[in-house]
Structure 1
Amino acid sequence: MALYRKIATQLRDEIITQYSAGDLLPPESRLADRFSVNRHTVRRAIDELVQDGLVRRYQGLGCKIVQTPIDYALHDRAAFSHNLNQIGLGLETEILRCALSTLPDTLAQQLDVAPGTRVHELKTRRLIEGEPVCLIRHYLFGLPEDGLDAFDGGSLHQFLRDQWSLDLRRGTTRLRARMPTFEECSQLSITRGVPVMEVHTRNLCHRTGQLREFSIARSRSDLFEYSVEPKP
């Protein structure tokens, strides 16, 4: 086994047993002295840990231990903010765009709705303790033109319940992993080497079963693990 991989293996074991999320690894110079190697070898070892999603490099600060991935359950409760609050994580919502638009033809065909359907298109960025974790594009059906005028952040689904008595449940969900675009890297503060998990969800009116929202969420794969809960 290459020397840098031996060092990476030892550091990986130490991170799991001795470090907590947010801790900093010792500087490369100190690690080089400890393992009696040059800094280039240490840097290659840390590259392995970065690729594993265990540490992140910060300019001028060093290498920080990444928090344990968030176990996010995909069940019939569709609210992203509610689901994270249930596991003790506070969530901030930034609104990137909110406008009336025409649903793209390809998406209309996929969702089996009429071409030219008008929707509210909402783009949000979600943050935990100031760190961006997810981008979500929402297409909302059947709201009045001013339906989102009063929405200024927080839980979108709680807003829909309070403002329009619209309670949503999760319908079908599709997941895929892919590499991020340059824009997503910028918005999520990740490198091109960190995949995003893309989740497509149809959310239905709990009372009528009618499609009222289609969402595309792109979350950081280094921070989220998805679990699927079977229906009772």
Structure 2
Amino acid sequence: MAIYLKIAQQLKNEIHQQYESGDLLPAEQKLASRFQVNRHTVRRAIDELVQDGLIKRFQGLGNQVTQPAIDYSLDNQSCFTYNLSKAGMTLETQVLGCCEETLPYELTKRLTLPNDQKAVMIKTCRSINEQATTLIKHHLFGVTKQVMRGYQSDSLHNFLQEHYQFQATRGKTRLKARMPTFDECQQLQIGRGIPVMEIHSQYYLIESDTLMEYSISVSRSDIFEYSVEP
């Protein structure tokens, strides 16, 4: 077996036994000294761990142990809080703003709404185990800004059900992978080289089939993997 593969296997065993998600491996120079090889050999070993999904490389930070991807289901009943609670995760919601605004032209065109259509827009940052993972813009219809300012945490859909008796189901969903903006990097604490997944979701009231919410979420791509139910 090649030396770099032996080193990769040794490091893999140590990751499983000694490291937790978010821990950094020792610097490549230290690993080279420890295994008495050159840095190129260590880098090839690290490449194997990256390919296996055990390690993420971050410029200026080093080689970080990843956490297992969270399965995020995009079925008709799913929403952020429901999915994460089902997975047993500790979820925190920070409300970043609440205002009434006219929808952008591109959005009114996509939804076949009047050009002057207004909605209450709430911005949230969702964190899992104290790590920011997702930024969401919720465009809400049939609600008032005064009531929605009372929303501070936990499930937005539960708040809507409590205050408006809204019960909704997921409609059309659009997914797009892209690179993050500078602000998104700051808020999600990621480097510019880590892609994000942008998801556009429509939710309709079950009783009347009218649009309740159009949300745009931006999530770290190294946290979630998505499953789409037929």
Please indicate the TM-score interval, normalised by the length of the shorter structure: 0.7 to 0.9
Q: CA deviation at 1:164?
A: 1.0
Equivalent residue, structure 2, for 1:115:
115
Pair 1:12–1:35, CA change in 2 (3 A): closer
Give distance in 1, aligned partners of 2:174 and 2:18: 35
TM-score normalized by the length of structure 2: 0.85
Equivalent residue, structure 2, for 1:126:
126
Q: Which amino acid aligns with 1:66?
A: T
Q: How does 1:62-211 map to 2 (within 5 A)?
A: 63-211=63-211
Give distance in 2, aligned partners of 1:185 and 1:11: 33
Deviations 1:55-80 (A, max 9, x none): 35789996441110001111111421
Pair 1:15–1:67, CA change in 2 (3 A): farther
Give distance in 2, aligned partners of 1:199 and 1:176: 6
Q: Which amino acid aligns with 1:65?
A: V
Q: How does 1:2-81 map to 2 (within 5 A)?
A: 10=9, 13-14=12-13, 18=17, 21-22=20-21, 23-39=23-39, 42=42, 46=46, 54-56=54-56, 63-81=63-81
Pair 1:116–1:154, CA change in 2 (3 A): same
Give distance in 1, aligned partners of 2:7 and 2:199: 32
Judge which range, 177-186 or 38-47, deviates more: 38-47
Q: Which amino acid aligns with 1:216?
A: I
Q: Is the 8 A contact 1:20 1:67 kept in 2?
A: no
Q: CA deviation at 1:19?
A: 6.0
Equivalent residue, structure 1, for 2:217:
217
Percent of matched pairs sharing the same residue: 48
- Structure 1, unaligned runs of 5 or more: none
Q: CA deviation at 1:97?
A: 1.5
* 1:146 aligned counterpart, secondary structure: helix
RMSD: 3.0
Q: CA deviation at 1:209?
A: 0.9
- Structure 2, unaligned runs of 5 or more: none
Q: Is the 8 A contact 1:119 1:139 kept in 2?
A: yes
* 2:160 aligned counterpart, secondary structure: helix
TM-score normalized by the length of structure 1: 0.84
Aligned length: 228
* 1:147 aligned counterpart, secondary structure: helix
Q: CA deviation at 1:228?
A: 0.7
* 1:201 aligned counterpart, secondary structure: strand
Give distance in 2, aligned partners of 1:202 and 1:172: 6
Q: CA deviation at 1:40?
A: 6.8
Give distance in 1, aligned partners of 2:3 and 2:107: 50
